[in-house]
């Protein structure tokens, strides 16, 4: 897969550029989350990662827009992958409380939510139990063990595939516990392994979707455990992990916006392209993030590196 990430693009605008995307050698596009959002603005990129439920349609496009994009993409042999957010919902007025727009069927089910304990320090992110059971910052976290939640997620993914979607990029994947996650302290809530991925996969496997899971800053053993359920989107090179299971990237949207937020000059477009070209040489699955207000993805260098493979 040669994936072009089109975060914060209107779905209709992506459809208009499918010919250029195909000409550049991309065979897959990754669009931003299509879930309803807590605000109607397009000013802040991170709002796409504060969803309010598991349905299709927000200010970037409707369900019909998505269906039209998928139908048009087939003409160019391009697959459409949707970024999906399973682990949390939009933050409300209080920390770790859901926003007023969050689907009431979620809000009213107390078993769907994680404990209101937040990951605060770097040490927290090294603690597997806290990563999979506590909330990321002030975002209200969802309990991945809960079958009601799993059923909602499965229904949502099936609805997306009925629109013609070929697969999914799973946001914050490493905070989703695995069947192999067994915790020694049995007094802790949900200290057993979690069946989220097996149950979800069972609901969608007949349609054989592409699935790649964002798994950053983890050990190779944990990465291999995630790779049992799909490809793994990761920033590191692992000698003992099957390269065919990795989706590699030269830059993520998080890295780009962190540079901007910290008033540090980001790496130039050209350097990112050169780094990406190296990834293409070694990995069959790569992702190129199209930076805001940049047409670097249309450059001859990108086209050439795809043609060389």
The model's pLDDT over 152-166, given as tens digits with 9 standing for 90+, comes to 999 999 999 999 999
**Tokens of residue 96, six digits:** 């770790």
How far apart (Å, rounded) are the C-alpha atoms in residues 295 and 132? 38
How far apart (Å, rounded) are the C-alpha atoms in residues 193 and 174? 14
pLDDT above 70 covers a percentage of the chain that reads: 97
pLDDT-derived band at 260, boundaries 50, 70, 90:
low
Closest CA to 5 of 302, 305, 268: 302
Output the pTM of the full model: 0.94
Q: Calculate the alpha carbon distances from 109 to 123, 148, 200 in Å.
A: 31, 9, 20
Q: What is the pLDDT of residue 261?
A: 63
How far apart (Å, rounded) are the C-alpha atoms in residues 307 and 257? 30
How far apart (Å, rounded) are the C-alpha atoms in residues 194 and 158? 21
Q: What is the pLDDT of residue 1?
A: 96
Q: What is the pLDDT of residue 262?
A: 67
Q: How far out from the chain centre does Cα 126 lie?
A: 21
pLDDT above 60 (res 309) = no
How far apart (Å, rounded) are the C-alpha atoms in residues 60 and 42? 8
Residue 261 burial class via C-beta count within 10 angstroms: exposed 0-12, middle 13-18, buried 19 and up: exposed
pLDDT-derived band at 8, boundaries 50, 70, 90:
very high
Q: Where are the domains of the chain?
A: 2-308
* Domain at 2-308, CATH from 3.30.465.10, 3.40.50.720, 3.30.1490.20, 3.20.20.80: 3.20.20.80
How far apart (Å, rounded) are the C-alpha atoms in residues 81 and 169? 7
The model's pLDDT over 174-203, given as tens digits with 9 standing for 90+, comes to 999 999 998 888 888 889 999 999 999 998
Q: Calculate the alpha carbon distances from 193 to 7, 8, 190, 215, 247 in Å.
A: 33, 35, 8, 18, 26
Q: What is the pLDDT of residue 111?
A: 96
- Of the listed ranges 1-10, 120-129, 219-228, the least confidently predicted one is 120-129
Q: Residue range 224-248: average pLDDT? A: 91
């Amino acid at each position: 897969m040669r994936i072009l990430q089109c975060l914060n693009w209107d779905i209709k605008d992506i459809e208009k550029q499918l010919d250029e995307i195909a000409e550049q050698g991309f065979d897959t596009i990754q669009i931003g989350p299509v879930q309803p959002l807590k605000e109607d603005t397009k000013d802040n990129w991170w709002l796409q990662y504060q969803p309010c439920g598991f349905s299709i349609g927000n200010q970037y496009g409707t369900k019909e827009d998505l269906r039209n994009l998928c139908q048009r993409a087939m003409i160019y042999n391009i697959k459409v992958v949707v970024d999906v957010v399973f682990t949390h919902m939009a933050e409300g007025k209080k920390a770790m409380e859901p926003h007023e727009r969050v689907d009431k069927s979620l809000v009213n089910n107390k078993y769907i939510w994680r404990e209101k304990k937040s990951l605060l320090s770097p040490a927290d992110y090294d603690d597997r139990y806290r990563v999979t059971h506590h909330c990321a910052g002030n975002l209200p976290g969802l309990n991945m063990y809960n079958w009601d939640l799993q059923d909602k997620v499965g229904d949502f993914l099936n609805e997306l595939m009925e629109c013609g979607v070929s697969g999914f990029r799973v946001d914050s994947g490493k905070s989703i516990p695995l069947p192999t996650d067994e915790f020694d302290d049995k007094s802790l809530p949900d200290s057993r392994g979690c069946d989220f991925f097996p149950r979800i996969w069972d609901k969608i496997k007949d349609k054989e979707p592409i699935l790649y899971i964002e798994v950053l800053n983890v050990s190779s053993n944990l990465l291999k455990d995630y790779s049992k359920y799909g490809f793994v989107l990761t920033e590191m090179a692992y000698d003992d992990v099957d390269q065919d299971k990795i989706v590699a990237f030269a830059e993520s949207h998080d890295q780009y916006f962190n540079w901007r937020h910290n008033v540090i000059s980001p790496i130039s477009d050209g350097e990112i392209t050169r780094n990406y070209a190296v990834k293409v040489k070694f990995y069959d699955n790569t992702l190129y993030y199209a930076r805001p207000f940049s047409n670097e993805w249309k450059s001859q260098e990108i086209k050439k590196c795809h043609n060389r493979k």
